[in-house]
A = this chain, B = another copy of it.
């Protein structure tokens, strides 16, 4: 294996506390990853081998205004972790705290990759016979067509670099399959992605998909704005919970059904594990100069170890460099200097 990869990890914000994040870091270190762990030394306890602990007790994970808190709290653990990445001391960022704080810290201190309008938040969803990467799921509530165009290539590059998809099929989420369906922004993005995808070897634009198709396995990357993507992601969580809850209720409704439920339990558990978000490490911040992974606050050590593992695979798979190459090939890099727009964005 090549040189070890170094991942900066914010230990604050996890529901199970900094020590659990430390245990995840220890698991990752045992697999050969170097971890810089930013958090309260007193709570983390003995530092595992392969982990460098930096005492950073201040947390902004519960701040009501994450971007403002990140700006006004340079000593916050997420800020210090992001600065370490920005300064080249680490190759990738992992946070288990507030998504908003992680995005703000990433924007301010890791910074946007050259030519990228807006970093996006991506998640992996289960689909028959594989997985699908959906972005944006919440970083950008309002987008312009050129943002959606970039999301398409940013997502495709990540799918190739990290998810092992050779030639990703990219789709645009809309309210109908025809190219004229959708908001004005979606319709414009459709035309632009179709034209530009033809320039990028190994990326296939399959057009619009509807909500029914998200989990149908018809695309590897699904592009949408952060408002729709956030609603869609949380709706999937809610519907899954409702259905599994209803089935649990059904399984207790009669002696027959209860016996059936008991017999099905091992198989149902296997199914539930298949849709476990811990297995995918959380959400990915893409479009920064380095990859960031936002672990879910409720993750345990296994989930944090996987988040660090995804960050390492992104570095080894050259996710950021491939994104640049694909955006360049697509002619989708932002040409204008980062004047007004750049200074406005982080505060939004």
Complex: A155 Cα to B151 Cα, angstroms: 35
Complex: A212 Cα to B236 Cα, angstroms: 7
Q: Are B211 and A237 in contact (CB under 8 A)?
A: yes
Q: Is A345 an interface residue (CB 8 A)?
A: no
Complex: A266 Cα to B267 Cα, angstroms: 19
Number of interface residues of A (CB under 8 A): 65
Contact partners of A2 in chain B: CB under 8 A: none
Complex: A172 Cα to B66 Cα, angstroms: 23
The 0/1 profile, CB within 8 Å of B marked 1, for residues 236-258 of chain A is 11111111111100110110110
Each complex incorporates copies of this chain amounting to: 2
Q: Are B184 and A142 in contact (CB under 8 A)?
A: yes
Q: Are B214 and A235 in contact (CB under 8 A)?
A: yes
The 0/1 profile, CB within 8 Å of B marked 1, for residues 92-114 of chain A is 00000000000000000000000
- Min CB distance, A129 to chain B, in Å? 12
Complex: A211 Cα to B142 Cα, angstroms: 17
Q: Are A240 and B237 in contact (CB under 8 A)?
A: no
Q: Is A213 an interface residue (CB 8 A)?
A: yes
* Chain B residue nearest in CB terms to A127: B242
Complex: A178 Cα to B247 Cα, angstroms: 32
8 Å CB interface, A179-212 against B: 181-184, 186, 210-212
8 Å CB interface, A217-239 against B: 224, 226-228, 230-239
Q: Is A261 an interface residue (CB 8 A)?
A: yes
Q: Are B227 and A211 in contact (CB under 8 A)?
A: no
* Chain B residue nearest in CB terms to A253: B267
Q: Are A250 and B267 in contact (CB under 8 A)?
A: yes
Q: Are A233 and B261 in contact (CB under 8 A)?
A: no
Tell me which of B126, B175, B247 contacts A231 (CB under 8 A). Answer: B175
The 0/1 profile, CB within 8 Å of B marked 1, for residues 121-143 of chain A is 00000111000000000100110
